[in-house]
Structure 1
Amino acid sequence: MGLATIYRQFPTKEALYEAVVHARLRALAGWGVDVKAGPDDLRDDMVGAIETLLRRAQSAGAVRDDVGMPEVLAPLGAACLAAERGRWDEETRDRALAVMFDGFRRPRS
């Protein structure tokens, strides 16, 4: 996609930013997150959604039983900070997350 195409769709940086934010908010709402909540409520909703996913993965046998929310949130938060500060490209981000998620998997017997 060329710059001219982007500028036709989004005449200003603000318009592009607004479109991105709206798309992200729609995605979060699709996950059941109350996007109109305050920051604390939003954080609680996100943690609740992650915990639900963790429990489902554990019930399905995909994630180790000894993994709890602290073991998920600590490396996830660290990876987010590192990706932001290091300006990771998509390939680096995908590899780093794959390594992290491998550590959550239940060992094969």
Structure 2
Amino acid sequence: MTESKPLRADARRNRARVLEAAESVFAARGTGAPTEEVARAAGVGVGTVFRHFPTKEELLKAVLFARLLRFADEADAVVAANSPDPGDAFFGFLAGWIEMAGAKNAYLEALSAAGIAVPTSGSVIGERLIGSLGVLLGRAQDAGAARKDLSAEELIPVIIGMAKGAEHVGDDPVRRARTIEIMFDALRPPGRSLAE
């Protein structure tokens, strides 16, 4: 088995530009946007895109993985910051996860439509996120900002449902924020709501 050679500096820069451009193009135009548009946005030829990502599905998987990894890094940073307001940190993290989940779902649906299976649970990134969620939840519970009868594992399907609910509302930021806050009220101790 041969080891792949590390990319040259210019090839690494091109790959990073392609990933950044792909994320931007797919966010603006959807995952169905053509690869040629990604190449134009990255300032490279379409051949360069295919040298790094032989198929569009490989590009979609790479963008999805980069997004998830970035979100896991952000989660680690929120945990490390040890906010003086654990409730804000917890609910802020959940809001970010809900937004990220909507984008993640679009990538997973596009890959699934192409017959590509992407592992979604038990991954290293997933374990990191659940770990961060557990720490932030525990801190919020200790501060009286979150229900005591919740576990991080129980919150995963709740987050998935919240993400679907937020997607259903659409692009109206006021309605999305209000919908998310209504859903968050179910995670707060009885009798405590956002207004308090």
Q: Measured at CA, do residues 65 and 84 of structure 1 come closer, stay the same or move farther in structure 2, by a change above 3 Å? A: same
Q: How many residues align?
A: 91
- Offset at residue 72 of structure 1 (A): 2.1
Pick from 45, 51, 59 the counterpart of residue 134 of structure 2: 51
C-alpha RMSD of matched pairs (Å): 3.4
- Offset at residue 84 of structure 1 (A): 3.5
Counterpart AA for 1:32: D
Pick from 49, 55, 73 the counterpart of residue 29 of structure 1: 73
- Aligned equivalent of 1:105: 188
- Aligned equivalent of 2:151: 68
Counterpart AA for 1:49: S
- Aligned equivalent of 1:14: 21
Say yes or no: does 1:93 pair with 2:137.
no
Deviations 1:31-68 (A, max 9, x none): 328xxxx9611111111111111111011111111122
Q: Secondary structure at the match of 1:32?
A: helix
Q: Secondary structure at the match of 1:52?
A: helix
Pick from 163, 166, 181 the counterpart of residue 80 of structure 1: 163
Structure 1 segments unaligned to the other structure (5+ residues): 1-12
Distance 2:139 2:169 in 1: 32
- Offset at residue 14 of structure 1 (A): 2.3
Q: Measured at CA, do residues 94 and 52 of structure 1 come closer, stay the same or move farther in structure 2, by a change above 3 Å? A: same
Q: Measured at CA, do residues 102 and 83 of structure 1 come closer, stay the same or move farther in structure 2, by a change above 3 Å? A: closer
- Offset at residue 96 of structure 1 (A): 1.6
Q: Secondary structure at the match of 2:180?
A: helix
Distance 1:75 1:88 in 2: 21
Paired residues of 1:57 and 1:63 also in contact (CA < 8 A):
yes
Query: TM-score normalised to the size of structure 2?
Result: 0.37
Percent of aligned pairs with the same residue? 26
